[in-house]
Amino acid sequence: MTEENKDKWWFPLFEFGVHIFIGVVIFVLIALPAIGLNLWIKSLEGTVDNIIIIGLVGVEYLLFFVDILLFVIHVVRTSFKAGKALWEQ
């Protein structure tokens, strides 16, 4: 961050918005394989053993829940960082 940007009151809000936008994009990029896995599992039902379906569903849920958890952590950390930057100005 340059010295000029540190003096602008809106810069922490701008930085927060950019970080949240990038976080949403990454969240969607990780969620898409979970959605694709769900569609693939639906097409496999009835053609493969049930234990394989259960394992794939577990992987699908794990991928999606870890994605949600990491997104929430990202939002909370970014919020605290933006709040701290605003408080220091």
Give the model's confidence band at 74: pLDDT under 50 very low, under 70 low, under 90 confident, else very high. Answer: very high
* pLDDT per residue as tens digits for the range 10-63: 888 999 999 999 999 999 999 999 999 999 999 999 999 999 999 999 999 999
Range(s) of the domain holding residue 70: 3-88
The pLDDT, as a whole number, for residue 9 is 82
Task: For the chain, count helices (H), then strands (E).
Answer: 3, 0
Whether pLDDT at 1 is above 60: no
Rounded CA gap, 75 and 48, in Å?
40
The model carries a pTM of 0.79
Q: How far is CA 37 from CA 4, 23, 43, 65, 67, in A?
A: 47, 22, 10, 14, 14
Tally of domains in the chain: 1
What is the reported pLDDT for 78? Answer: 95
Nearest one of 88, 33, 42, 87 to 62, comparing CA atoms: 33
